[in-house]
Amino acid sequence: MRRSTRPFRNAFTLIELLIVIVIIALLIAILLPALGKARKAAKTIICHNNMAQFSKAMSNYSTDWRGAMASFGWKAGVANSEFPDLATPAGMIWYEVHANEAITTVRRMMKRTDTYYAPVTGRIMDRNYCHLPLLAGGYFSERLPEPSVACPEDTVTLTWQSHWRDTDFNEALGITQGAPDPPAEMSYKRVFPFWSTYQLVPNTWAPETGSNGATAANVIYQASGQVGYHMLYTTPFNSFAISRRLDEVAFPSQKVWLFDLFDRHSYKRTIWHAYPVAAQPLVMFDGSVAWRKTKDSNKGWDPRAPNNYNSTTTYQYWPSPGEPPTLSGAAADTVIGWFRWTRRGLRGVDFGGHEVR
């Protein structure tokens, strides 16, 4: 019997190998965008759930405290803190009283008796630390940092949350370039690990102009005109009543309670929330979480001109280092207030109806 002298073929030819590589590359090109969209959708769902948890905590607080909204509530002249450097003497400015309350809460929850977390001056802690009273009251998990107050797309806040230890602080400063507030003093930066992505609309902890005899000279309003001022509020007065109640809200299903300063989910990149093309999940005062487009909101007002129906807050989104660039590519874009500055404040309407005169 003759044996075949033909060699047995046990390998791909170059052409076959190239075809396989091309097919794999095509499959990757097809699947990667879908996987990216799936990851994006998953993070959006997590963000939505975080806001729903925040909403539940605020609603439970109000139920337990007879309709009062969760907020910092210390008063000047009352010995609330066991730490001498966080005392609140009579005549102390309201936002520094609230800052002492915030730092006292941090020290207690972190079990610190030293001054690593030092007093903060000149900062309104009511903005991005509004969850601290809820944590202190047991309405969250009673731990710091609290994971659910960080959007999964907020890489800056997530970086700080993973670098909360003293030994990690300088590394976090380098990664974030000092964001979310690069010009801030060091005492303020120390509490960045406890920053919340989500913040309350300002009238949750501050009155509207005209609600109790206030005038344009002593109202809180939007800061503008310099790098980073889009994050800030201006207040020229030393004291005001800040205890707000849910029964002050006239249209709870149409009024925004909690929001993110940035649209991290719907646009092709992260953008400032006040661009008309932005959209995000929002917590309404009835406790619901609704996906809303900024352009569908009423334009809001300028609280310094309460009787001028044509007045609307305008300010500049002027990003600090580490913040998303403007849409125009310029150093700053002028935007309007939208639901951050609802006309008539808690008595007003953001979505689904005309502004209240």
Which structural domain range is residue 324 located in?
Answer: 43-347
Rounded CA-CA distance 335/40 in Å is: 27
- The answer to whether residues 87 and 79 touch, using CB atoms and an 8 Å cutoff, is yes
Q: Does residue 90 lie in a domain region?
A: yes
Beta strand 256-260 with 198-200: parallel, antiparallel or unpaired? antiparallel
**Quick one: CA dihedral 139, 42, 47, 111, positive or negative?**
positive
Q: Does residue 326 lie in a domain region?
A: yes
Q: Does residue 5 lie in a domain region?
A: no
- The answer to whether residues 257 and 267 touch, using CB atoms and an 8 Å cutoff, is no
Rounded CA-CA distance 27/30 in Å is: 5
Cα 11 to the center of its chain, rounded Å = 58
Q: What is the pLDDT of residue 214?
A: 47
Q: Does residue 357 lie in a domain region?
A: no
Task: Express each pLDDT in 252-273 by its tens digit.
Answer: 999 999 999 999 999 999 999 9
Q: What is the pLDDT of residue 215?
A: 55
Rounded CA-CA distance 27/42 in Å is: 22
Q: Does residue 17 lie in a domain region?
A: no
Rounded CA-CA distance 271/327 in Å is: 8
Q: What is the DSSP letter of 325?
A: P
Task: Express each pLDDT in 67-107 by its tens digit.
Answer: 999 999 999 999 999 999 999 999 898 899 999 999 999 99
Residue 150, judged by CB atoms within 10 A of its CB (0-12, 13-18, 19+), counts as buried
Cα 103 to the center of its chain, rounded Å = 19
- The answer to whether residues 129 and 102 touch, using CB atoms and an 8 Å cutoff, is yes
The segments of the chain whose pLDDT lies below 70 read: 1-12, 31-37, 210-217, 236-241
Q: Does residue 35 lie in a domain region?
A: no
Q: What is the pLDDT of residue 61?
A: 95
Among 129, 152, 170, CA closest to 39: 152
Q: What is the DSSP letter of 324?
A: P
Number of domains in the chain: 1
Rounded CA-CA distance 182/159 in Å is: 15
Q: Does residue 124 lie in a domain region?
A: yes
